[in-house]
Homo-oligomer: A and B are copies of this chain.
Amino acid sequence: MVDGVRIIGIPGIPRITEGDDVGEVAARCMEAAGIEMEEGDLVVVAQTVVSRSEGCTVRLDTVNPSGRALSYAGITGKDPRIVEVVLGESTGVIHAGPGFLLCETRHGFVCANAGVDSSNVEEGMVTTLPPDPDGSAARISRSLGKAAGFAVPVIVSDSEGRPFRRGSVGVALGVAGISPVRSLAGVPDFFGRQLQTTEVALADQICSAANLVMGESGEGIPVAIARGVPPGRGEGIGGLLYEEDVFKEALGSDEG
């Protein structure tokens, strides 16, 4: 356990544009930086570069806000065109307040502005979340695996705010080759009793750890290796989502 966990930021990732093979680019930058992947490594990739590589961008001057978008723009103070893009990405609005719109996305994520972001993209444009983040992670994993010669699990990460606490933390949007949730069912505590907390959001915690070197991608480190984390074997990101969420229920939803 003295080796512990290491998070290694990959320097020199160039500005990613549509059609780029993010895994291939990341592997090349690792090589250039003298960083070798090891078996067991996970790779975390920021959503912003994944979205850009997949062309998940919208030119705001092509957007025509609906009445519903104009109404939410009034509540939030946001650009009505951005609100229109947000609503298009959402299956419902959970809460609206000054500066933000809490939405449920088509993937089932509940997050501010449905993940629509005007950072790290050209003026007059926004990025949207990748339509199938597990699929994105799988494609990047394949490219990295080809370069490494062994399987490389991948997490597509985002930074999100959350209720009740200030500041953003890392969360996983998509995974490949890793179980996003670790079950502690059956793990005894110090006193031999069953632990009260039985599900750990492993992938989210890895994204928060990766953020410690990635910072916001504006700082230029959109890819990091997480070394020494036992990944488990896993299915998709759905493991991190509730089928029924008491808060969503309590807050209600405007499904437009």
- Tell yes or no: A220 within 8 A of B by CB: yes
A233 within 8 A of B: no
A226–B117 CA distance with the chains assembled, in angstroms:
30
- Name the residue on B nearest A182 (C-beta): B167
A contacts with B, residue count (CB < 8 A): 86
Of the candidates B1, B224, B226, which one forms a contact with A11 in the assembled complex, judged by CB atoms under 8 Å apart?
B1
Flag A206-238 by CB within 8 Å of B: 1 or 0 each.
101101110111111100111011000000000
Across the A-B interface, give the 5 residue pairs with the lowest CB-CB distance, nearest first: A167-B201, A209-B209, A189-B218, A208-B208, A163-B247
A contact set with B: CB distance below 8 Å = 1-9, 11, 15, 33-35, 95, 97, 109-111, 117-123, 159, 161-171, 180-182, 184, 187-191, 193-197, 199-202, 204-206, 208-209, 211-213, 215-221, 224-226, 228-229, 239-242, 245-248, 250-251
